[in-house]
Amino acid sequence: MATSSPMVLSLLLLASLTALLVLAPRLSPPPQPALAAAAGEDAPTRPAAAVGAASSKGTGAGEEADDLRLFRRAALEATAAAASGKEAKAAAGPPKVAFLFLTNSDLTFAPLWERYFAGNSALLNIYVHADPTSHLRLPATPSFRGRFIAAKPTRRADASLIAAARRLLAAALLDDPANAYFALLSQHCVPLHSFPRLYSSLFPPPPTSSAAAARHDDHRRLPSYIEVLTGEPQMPSRYAARGDGAMLPEVPYERFRIGSQFFTLARRHAVLVVRERRLWRKFRQPCLPEVAAHECYPEEHYFPTLLDMADPAGVARYTLTRVNWTGSVAGHPHTYGAAEVTPGLVDELRASNHTHPHMFARKFAPDCLAPLLAMADTVLFKD
Ligand SMILES: *[C@@H]1O[C@H](CO)[C@@H](O)[C@H](O)[C@H]1NC(C)=O
Ligand SMILES: *[C@@H]1O[C@H](CO)[C@@H](O)[C@H](O)[C@H]1NC(C)=O
């Protein structure tokens, strides 16, 4: 009798929902390690293979069950941790930077990154999503060992690069509640400043006044560094790449944005991304075959569009990763070769019109490793 009252019903529903939210982390199956730790030691491709052959079709229209489970678990645990104050406790230790390497070939610059990470391991974590079809060699340096997450094939001109970035964010969220920033990088990216310089830019020292200090303590307000542009000439055709009206009603043209693929996201935005499904459902639709070769770069649109819709005041609207589009060929930016690598180039690439200098740059050809290493201490990491 009583349960037929809509009021009681909704109260019951609310109570059970609350219970579910509180208990979910404990009820969920024992967390599989987000990192395929030991298995990844010798062969980065092994954990990916373990994901199952049935799920290697790429993204396309459907969402694969294992990805969905990963995103759900990351979103749930992040929310529960925030609610229970676990995040605050982790934040009582120093916040960390998660370096997310998205690659489909060897991590040639691993020795340079190794020098960059040296002495700072308490303040950072490394995660690698390596396309399992690419059979890359494991970097000879120790920092990347056991840091490969379960990966799937990535291709240009579809949403698989977005899916891979989401997998990296989810794995890093689950792995360490102290991860406060998430920097997406590729195998062609190099650092332009030392790690301490990056760290003090991301987490500026507390201001002197106590009101300002209280604001500073609230890491939830840290900005995300992602380019957000509008009115670029290629946008109408990019917007229409899935057919007229395909993005509606979730993404009207006026809300559609473009930005560079490589970003540094604050934790609350990483959670937002792995929890988000409405826009993701739109952006993972395949492009029309006749435009796919030229107009299909969903990874340059999904993140800026989503963040500009969800938290326009919380994004810096520029990226910390410099890229040179002058003379780009077939959608690829200029790739620097060894002969171009000079201290002068590093100065030029660091320069920015924004609050922070550029901290990373792309794209660098593998032969740049030797000249970059040669000037690591005297130029790159000398701040
Ligand atoms: C950008 O690339 C072009 C070649 O495409 C090159 O001439 C130019 O010097 C590069 N700019 C910088 C800042 O490196
Ligand atoms: C800074 O702004 C000027 C003027 O708009 C532009 O020419 C220059 O390329 C910008 N520099 C960088 C590093 O973006």
* 130-179 tens-digit pLDDT: 999 998 888 878 999 999 999 999 998 889 999 999 999 999 999 999 99
Instruction: Report CA dihedral (143, 145, 146, 150) to the nearest 10 degrees.
Output: 100
| pLDDT for 190 | 98
58 in Cβ contact with 152 (< 8 Å) = yes
| pLDDT for 79 | 86
Looking at the predicted structure, is the pLDDT value of residue 42 above 70?
no
Give buried/exposed letters for 318-334 (b at 16+ CB in 10 A, else e). bbbbbbeeeeeeeeebe
pLDDT above 90: percentage of residues in the chain: 68
Q: Whose CA is nearest to atom 8 of ligand 1?
A: 326
| pLDDT for 383 | 85
Q: Which ligand is nearest to the CA of 348?
A: 1
Look over the chain and give the mean of its residue pLDDT values, rounded to a whole number: 84
Residue of 192, 326, 347, 363 to test ligand 1 pocket, by largest number of atoms within 8 Å of CB: 326
Q: Is the CB of 30 under 6 A from ligand 1?
A: no
Q: Alpha helices of the chain — where are they, by DSSP H?
A: 6-27, 37-40, 45-50, 65-84, 86-92, 110-117, 160-175, 195-202, 210-217, 235-239, 267-275, 278-283, 289-295, 302-310, 343-350, 369-374
Give buried/exposed letters for 341-350 (b at 16+ CB in 10 A, else e). beeeebeebb
| Region of poorest pLDDT, from 13-17, 163-167, 190-194, 377-381 | 13-17
Coil vs helix vs strand at 213 = helix
| Region of poorest pLDDT, from 19-28, 141-150, 235-244, 332-341 | 19-28
Residue 210 CA, ligand 2 centroid: distance in Å: 36
| pLDDT for 57 | 40
Q: Which ligand is nearest to the CA of 332?
A: 1
Q: Give the CB-side neighbour count of residue 310, counting CA atoms within 13 A.
A: 20
| pLDDT for 35 | 56
Q: Is the CB of 347 under 6 A from ligand 1?
A: no
Name the pLDDT band for 216 (thresholds 50, 70, 90): low
Taking the alpha carbons at both ends of the chain, their separation in whole angstroms is 73
Q: Whose CA is nearest to atom 5 of ligand 1?
A: 327
Looking at the predicted structure, is the pLDDT value of residue 52 above 50?
no
Q: Which ligand is nearest to the CA of 340?
A: 1
| Region of poorest pLDDT, from 66-75, 219-228, 335-344, 373-382 | 219-228
Looking at the predicted structure, is the pLDDT value of residue 32 above 90?
no
Coil vs helix vs strand at 226 = strand
Q: Is the CB of 329 under 6 A from ligand 1?
A: no
Bigger pLDDT: 227 or 50?
A: 227
C-alpha to C-alpha distance for 361 and 196, rounded to whole angstroms: 17
- Nearest-atom number in ligand 1 for the CA of 345 is 14
Average pLDDT, stretch 74-80? 90
Average pLDDT, stretch 108-135? 96
- Nearest-atom number in ligand 2 for the CA of 352 is 13
C-alpha to C-alpha distance for 2 and 20, rounded to whole angstroms: 23
Residue 318 CA, ligand 1 centroid: distance in Å: 20
pLDDT tens digits, 158-170:
899 999 999 999 9
Q: Is the peptide bond before 363 cis (omega within 30 degrees of 0)?
A: yes
Query: For residue 375, which phi and psi values (nearest 5 degrees)?
Result: -110, 20
| Region of poorest pLDDT, from 38-47, 279-288, 313-322 | 38-47
Residue 319 CA, ligand 2 centroid: distance in Å: 14
Bigger pLDDT: 290 or 205?
A: 290
Average pLDDT, stretch 293-311? 95
Name the pLDDT band for 237 (thresholds 50, 70, 90): very high
